[in-house]
Structure 1
Amino acid sequence: MEKYISINEAADLIKDGMTIMIGGFMGVGTPEILIDAILEKGVKDLTVIANDTGFPDKGIGKLVTNKRIKRVIASHIGLNPETGRQMNAKELIVDLVPQGTLAEQIRCGGAGIGGFLTETGVGTIVEEGKKKIKVGNTEYLLELPLRADIALVGGSVADKSGNIYYNGSKRNFNPLIATAADLVIVGAERIVEVGELDPNHVMTPGIFVDYIVGGEK
């Protein structure tokens, strides 16, 4: 099982100061096994790109609560009061990005596209420091792609080649981030043999996946 590694081996790949994309929406689809590994190893000063920061005791929120993150790029933080507290106390840098813009920035990062134009945020605080481009009579913001050193993906089922199925809403940002990082680690609830996963159910092809951990459930 070439792509299967131990959780300790996975943790050794995650270093202080890295930029990490983490899947999940309100903690659903977040690979908790990898979050716990980061905490146990003591990794710190991370830049995290994710939809949100979970809850104080769940998902990415555990990294916030334990002050392992120096900067977070997310679409909302309201479910985790600790994120807001650290932001207001200037203990944590928070970049709030409209959700659709964030998703498209990650997609562009994965597809090798240099950026995209959007009306979202024009005339608001979102436009600060960004280039404006007028097309016809409409003014747009140029949004740049996002990539990461590592993506931590939460899969429901993965086969030994790294093909992934996500159950229901666990899909969320996971397929996007799997394309936009230099190294992709999947925390899978279940691991099966190649051929057991219906090709029609594959949502992330194994070509994007470097390593697999988990399989306890």
Structure 2
Amino acid sequence: MASRPPLVSAADAVAGIPDGATVAITGSGGGVLEPGSLLAAAEERFLATGSPRGTTLVHALGLGDRDRLGTNAFAHEDMVRRVIGGHWTWSPRMMKLAAENLIEAYALPSGAISLLLREIGARRPGLVTRTGLHTFADPRHGGGRMNDAAAEDIVELLELDGREYLRYRPFPVDVAIVRGTEADRNGNITCRDEAALLDVRAVAQAARASGGRVLAQVKRIADDPLDPRDVVIPGTLVDAITVCPAQRQTYVAEHDPALAGPADAAFAVDLSDPVRAAVARRAAMEVPAGAVLNVGFGMSAHVVDVLAQQGRLDEVTIAIEQGLFNGVPASGDLFGMSRGASARVASTTQFDLFGMGMLDVCCLGLAQADASGSVNVSQFGGRVIGPGGFVDISQHARKAVFCGTFTAKGLRVEVGDGGIAIREEGQVPKFVDAVEQITYSGPFALREGREALFVTERAVFRLTCEGIELTEVAAGVDIDRDILPHMAFRPVIRAPRPMPAEVFRP
């Protein structure tokens, strides 16, 4: 009989993490699938002994509470040498280390990281994909480097059969830190009560294939063997198990059954902000019946509220990168989760589905855009944000709808009478001469026959071969007064029509 993984304390589990180890972890915002006890124990060990030091931390999605939890546990000078992360904003401590060049900071598309871990776990020569071409992940645009300390090439450009691809280079994973709900005496682990599956199996497999160790945190040990249909991590991949009876499903609650299974969750529409509501209503007009839709964090998430208010949710399929379909999307820190989801798959599977072209429309955020139609959401003024799933989603959806206010910081707008009145202009323009970093490449999208729209509270722009074209203007807005002076370039202007008056209703 195969050996069974021992049950150990969190402190004993992390005691064997060597200096210089590459540590891969799983988890998502709001504490979802976050192995918090093991991460905290690793931090306590470092603060007490100075070890492990010089580690490389790898994570596909963002983890943390913007204070101490998640990847913040590793955010100590000398504890971590390099971070390869998909999303950084949950960990301001790590962002500070990156900004000060105290660590080697890399950001890559979340899907690329998860799928690379899967490829490492299969001992294949890295991830070969078109995801990330002509973005900041492309070595011609930085190769994922986010600061001066990041000098190594971790992505390379390939040509196969006359087409360009990126190869995300593999690396050995010394330690995987993962989490599940329940383990049996053979070490098999389920995610039965978790809000998502994420890339937990890929993370564990990457370490095992590298000759590394897999440390698993669970809430309880089952008395009987688990139902094999529920097992996410087979026991043969697990080296040690830590039982944490106080483990919470999320930061918000110990357990919300609706996040882990079938439920009749009520949809609470939030369109209280009239500016955000107007942008979301206009964006929702780009979502046809029968579409497979992805929405991003922030203003674009309200597109789902609009569809619910209009009774159109049953007409579309919502697919989120964490691996969930439909249901009632959670908001705030739990964004990416869904109550009463109709299906859930591993995030690695979901990213594969995105790559095959499953998405008809995505509605995502808009931080910066330039005359070429390129968009930046991943780095500003040296601050590492990371793209999350933005690249994986926008680059493979047939149509991308970027949502945001026309300017930022201090903008005050009144909505009513089928249009708007700008009371105070924002101090920060979003339509710039050149984006600081390319998270979405307009020229590449055009070459591949994909559509892109830019929806703001005062105007709508469309990506064309001649550049960004101004196609709609809100009532109450003057092009020469309210649009052109606040753009670093002149858009194509032919015959813009009024924005639909109904998007500006109370």
Shared fold, TM over 0.5: yes
The answer for the alignment partner of 1:189 in structure 2 is: 219
The yes-or-no answer on 1:39 pairing with 2:43 is yes
Q: 1:116 to 1:23 in 2, by over 3 A?
A: closer
Separation of aligned partners in 2, 1:212 and 1:118: 34
Separation of aligned partners in 2, 1:187 and 1:103: 20
Residue of structure 1 aligned with 2:104, choices 81, 93, 98? 93
Q: 1:69 to 1:53 in 2, by over 3 A?
A: farther
Q: 1:141 to 1:118 in 2, by over 3 A?
A: same
- Matches of residues 7-156 of structure 1 in structure 2 within 5 Å? 7-26=10-29, 27-42=31-46, 43=51, 44-51=53-60, 52-55=62-65, 56-64=67-75, 68-128=79-139, 129=153, 130-156=155-181
8 Å Cα contact 2:180/2:194 also seen in 1: no
8 Å Cα contact 1:161/1:194 also seen in 2: no
Q: 1:140 to 1:169 in 2, by over 3 A?
A: same
Shift in Å, 1:131? 3.1
The answer for the alignment partner of 2:237 in structure 1 is: 208
Shift in Å, 1:147? 3.3
Separation of aligned partners in 2, 1:40 and 1:171: 27
Task: Name which of structure 1's ranges 71-80 and 120-129 shifts more when overlaid on structure 2.
Answer: 120-129
Q: 1:66 to 1:25 in 2, by over 3 A?
A: farther
8 Å Cα contact 2:34/2:63 also seen in 1: no
Separation of aligned partners in 1, 2:216 and 2:130: 34
8 Å Cα contact 1:4/1:160 also seen in 2: no
Shift in Å, 1:164? 0.8
**Alpha carbon RMSD of aligned pairs, Å?**
2.0
Q: 1:116 to 1:163 in 2, by over 3 A?
A: same
| Structure of higher RCO (CA pairs closer than 8 Å, 6+ residues apart) | 1
8 Å Cα contact 2:179/2:218 also seen in 1: yes
Q: Deviations over 1:47-102 (max 9, x none)?
A: 11112342322122222167632211111112222222211111122110111111
Separation of aligned partners in 1, 2:19 and 2:196: 27
Unaligned runs of 5+ in 2: 140-152, 247-506
Separation of aligned partners in 2, 1:92 and 1:41: 20
Q: 1:178 to 1:69 in 2, by over 3 A?
A: same
Identity %: 28
Structure 2 counterpart SS, 1:126: coil
Which TM-score applies when normalising by structure 2? 0.40
Structure 1 counterpart SS, 2:41: helix
Separation of aligned partners in 1, 2:228 and 2:244: 20
8 Å Cα contact 2:112/2:127 also seen in 1: no
Q: How many residues align structurally?
A: 216
Separation of aligned partners in 1, 2:220 and 2:171: 29
Structure 2 counterpart SS, 1:131: strand
Q: 1:116 to 1:60 in 2, by over 3 A?
A: closer
8 Å Cα contact 1:106/1:147 also seen in 2: no
Which TM-score applies when normalising by structure 1? 0.90
8 Å Cα contact 1:33/1:214 also seen in 2: no
Structure 1 counterpart SS, 2:75: helix
Q: 1:82 to 1:12 in 2, by over 3 A?
A: closer
Task: Name which of structure 1's ranges 176-185 and 162-171 shifts more when overlaid on structure 2.
Answer: 162-171
8 Å Cα contact 1:25/1:173 also seen in 2: no
Structure 1 counterpart SS, 2:181: strand
Shift in Å, 1:161? 1.2
1:3 partner amino acid: P
